[in-house]
Amino acid sequence: MTNPLTLAPAPRSGAAERVRGEVRDFLAEELAAGTFSTHVDTWLSGVDPEFSRKLGARGWLGMTWPKEYGGHERTAMERYAVTEELLAAGAPVAAHWIADRQSGPNLLRYGTEAQRREILPRIARGECYFVIGMSEPDSGSDLASIRTKATRNEAGDWVVNGAKVWTSNAHASHYGIVLVRTAPVDTANRHAGMSQLLIDLSLPGITINPIRILDGGHHFNEVVFEDVVIPRDMLLGTEGDGWHQVTAELAFERSGPERFLSTYPLVAEFGRRVVDSGDPAALAVLGRLSARLLALRQMSLRIAAALDRGELPNIPAALVKDVGTTFEADVIDEIRRVVDVLPSLDSPDPLARALAEAQLHAPGYTLRGGTNEILRGIVARGLGLR
């Protein structure tokens, strides 16, 4: 029997290394010009529309998409190199991140021709941003228990009522792909009767309530829908097929390098600090973290290559997200034990600032994108263990 966790190695790519060099040069210039500063977890907390537009102008968004929709028809390995360098630099990429990572591919797979032509070129230019409308206040990681409903009105349009939560950067985004119930719950099949709607977040009846994190920052939100009328042509994919579509989308969400590079700026600063220190304890930590990071990178690269081949490696993606976000939390504990540094957001010491940022963002690492417990259940089921 084929092991669902076994994936072919990612191919080596000279084109990917060339674009990696271009991105590094660009980032060095931007840092030198002071247009951004390095921070931890910027793929969720670093909203900078101007920076996103710069990336779009260089052809670094929508990289793998067809040219007819504003894309550039480059390989997944080239895109991986770009995203990896942006994350490693702690660049402010949150504005476009969700749209480029999963909303665009979702539209390519399930969207109508009109939806694709209207929205995809704007995403590729860095001008259109998306949120994920999955989790709800009373649902957590159990997506099958969602209660947000969409019913038809007399004109045939959808009327949406309910709420979504942890919707990162909804206050700065244009659209959400929202999972709703379009049919009553079937106790024999809880996954039936769900659909995805493409919702313009500026529509009447939508309220976006901020949820502050520990450092006072705002990227999480609650989005409330009260009799929101959605045009009938904004159904994404097939009515009733929302569960299948959402699980396919999660492969993009869970497997990328952001699932283990959120705290990389902290690792990099720690490495610069201790590499020549001669401190055996600190060097041992650096070695352990480096080894785990390299292993995670290989796993993630293989999933990127599988997605490029048109596969949907849901089980390996769940595993990478579980192991990767566990690593992100371990980075903090490993480093703080061997450095004599007081974490502080106001410190002039970049290591102290990075450690403080990582600690304050840490509660979300193993929650967003599915809790580790849910992910391990997905892997166990895929392996036939439950």
- In the chain, the N- to C-terminal Cα span, in Å, equals 17
Does residue 22 carry a catalytic annotation? no
Q: Cα(247)–Cα(141) distance, rounded to whole angstroms? A: 13
What are the residues facing 178 on neighbouring strands?
133, 197
Strand duo 175-181 + 130-133: pairing: parallel
Sequence-ordered list of residues with C-beta below 8 angstroms from that of 16, at least 6 positions apart, any chain: 75, 77, 78, 80, 81
Q: Cα(227)–Cα(1) distance, rounded to whole angstroms? A: 50
Three-state SS at 129: coil
Which residue out of 136, 253, 269, 334 is catalytically annotated? 253
Smallest CA-to-CA distance from 302 within 370, 255, 258 is with: 255
Q: Cα(58)–Cα(52) distance, rounded to whole angstroms? A: 10
If phi over 0 gives left and psi between -120 and 50 gives alpha, with beta otherwise, what is residue 24?
Answer: alpha
Question: In sequence order, what E strands does the chain have?
Answer: 130-133, 149-152, 158-165, 175-181, 194-200, 206-212, 218-230, 235-236
Place of tokens 């290591």: 351
What are the residues facing 230 on neighbouring strands?
158
Give me the sign of the Cα torsion angle 77, 81, 82, 84: positive
Q: Which helix (H) or strand (E) holds 108?
A: helix 104-110
User: Interior CA angle at 18 toward 16 and 20, to 5°?
Assistant: 70
Annotated catalytic residues are 253
